[in-house]
Amino acid sequence: MQPYELTLAAAADAVHARRLSPVELVDSVLDRIEKVEPHLGAYVTLTAEQARRAAREAEHEVAHGRCRGPLHGIPMGLKDLIDVAGMATTASSRVRADHRATADSTVAARLSAAGAILLGKTHTHEFAFGLTTPQTRNAWDHGKVAGGSSGGSAVAVASGTATFALGTDTGGSIRVPAALNGVVGLKPTYGLVPRHGVTSLSWSLDHVGPITRTVQDATLVLTALAGHDPRDPASLSVPAMHYQPGAGTDLTGLRIGLPRTYYFDNVHPHVESAVRHAIGQLEALGAHLVEVDIPMTRYIQATQWGLMVPEAGAYHENTLRTVPELYQEDVRILLEAAELMSAGDYIRAQRARTLMRAEWARILEDVDVIAAPSVPMTAAGADQETVTWPDGTIEAVSDAYVRLNAPANITGLPALTVPVGHDPAGMPIGMQLLGPPLGEPTLLRIGHAYEQTQPTRELATVA
């Protein structure tokens, strides 16, 4: 096994036991980038020389007993919305081609303090306003979409060109690409991970979280990221904690909600079969399945768009009026649509969110988590605009991908996607676990328990 193939946890063990040096690890990942990045387009910017210097410094520190923790010497990618002092933060847009960050974002500073080594910035759908990331190709099939908007981060992790990466999630933008590329994605509770220094799409829906190869890896990254920062007005005043995935596979006593409505409507049969099989395996580990009805389903997508579009429009108001030609057409149209929405529309969306939060809180009194598909279908073709369901319904690809993810953004609930197999064409399928506010320990415990019962996952085969 080459070093770039190691999970974060395995690489950390090897580095700290001095069986593997950070220099060897970083060189292996950079060699992998040189080989496969031309086929994938995961990165906007590479910082290879800086990464090599940081690896030498980490090697010296570890050799002299100054280990900063499990992320020390581990190579990572950051979505190109996340500020790093002195580096461009372009949001994969010509609008910000000349932007340079003057200070680190909170998450970048925390990862740096933990000793993680930055390889570069990964592509996003422009300003995170999309679910495909057109610049980047799926790690399993270059003719398929990577998912978005954190497509670059997910593809980097899936292909071995980053040991872990950060993404952002406003309507599924961590979970969609993670599911489509066969890796783990965690959208934390709203406010658990600070967003200071992260370019916003929609202030009340934005989250920052890890994309990793395993659930155990996600726990290590979340431990480094979580904690209050007063510079983010939404940051929760909760004490930092050391997240643990759980040591075993016994889920006795846990109640898992199985949706009767919404989450299995208009879902591809291969996806439904794989997710139901995975839920059955959770039951075999001792969990008790409880059927639940998802509340206010007819309002979910309208509420998501009713919140996101006006907030995005407000953020981009000045540049949309001065340099509209610099936006990609799909994003520009959405931002122009924001100017047609009334204050009443936005207020009604806010009221609907309040009601949804209350209804979801009621459901989560009766179950510990809800298990469902992460996305209703595997990766669409790069030029595919719509999907036709068996009942004749025609749905835009972007609407299909956001549909099952929006509830967790509207409510701010934590959600974890884990790989649960592949369709007959070899494309990954993901299962989503949703929990109560600050329910990350339970999500991680369940995801890790499931993961331990499965064969070791391979990296994507990149042509």
pLDDT (0 to 100) of residue 245:
81
Go through 360-390 and write b for each residue having 16 or more CB atoms within 10 A of its CB, e for each that does not.
beebbeebbbbbbbbbbbbbbeeeeeebeee
**8 Å CB contact between 72 and 112:** no
Q: At what angle do helices 8-16 and 22-40 cross, to 10 degrees?
A: 150
Low-confidence ranges of the chain (pLDDT < 70): 462-463
**Measured between alpha carbons, how far is 321 from 318 in angstroms, rounded to an integer?**
5
**Measured between alpha carbons, how far is 356 from 402 in angstroms, rounded to an integer?**
17
371, two tokens: 């298990």
pLDDT tens, position by position, 272-315: 999 999 999 999 999 999 999 999 999 999 999 999 999 999 99
pLDDT (0 to 100) of residue 142:
95
Q: Rounded to two decimals, what is the model's pTM? A: 0.97
pLDDT (0 to 100) of residue 461:
73
Handedness of CA 188, 192, 193, 195 (dihedral sign): positive
Q: How many CB atoms lie within 10 A of CB 312?
A: 25
Nearest to 68 by CA among 105, 29, 110, 26: 110
pLDDT (0 to 100) of residue 301:
96
Angle at 331 between CA 326 and CA 333, to 5 degrees: 100
Q: How many CB atoms lie within 10 A of CB 423?
A: 17
pLDDT (0 to 100) of residue 462:
66
pLDDT (0 to 100) of residue 12:
98
Q: Active-site residues: which are they? A: 79, 149, 173
Handedness of CA 212, 218, 223, 226 (dihedral sign): positive
230, two tokens: 């007063």
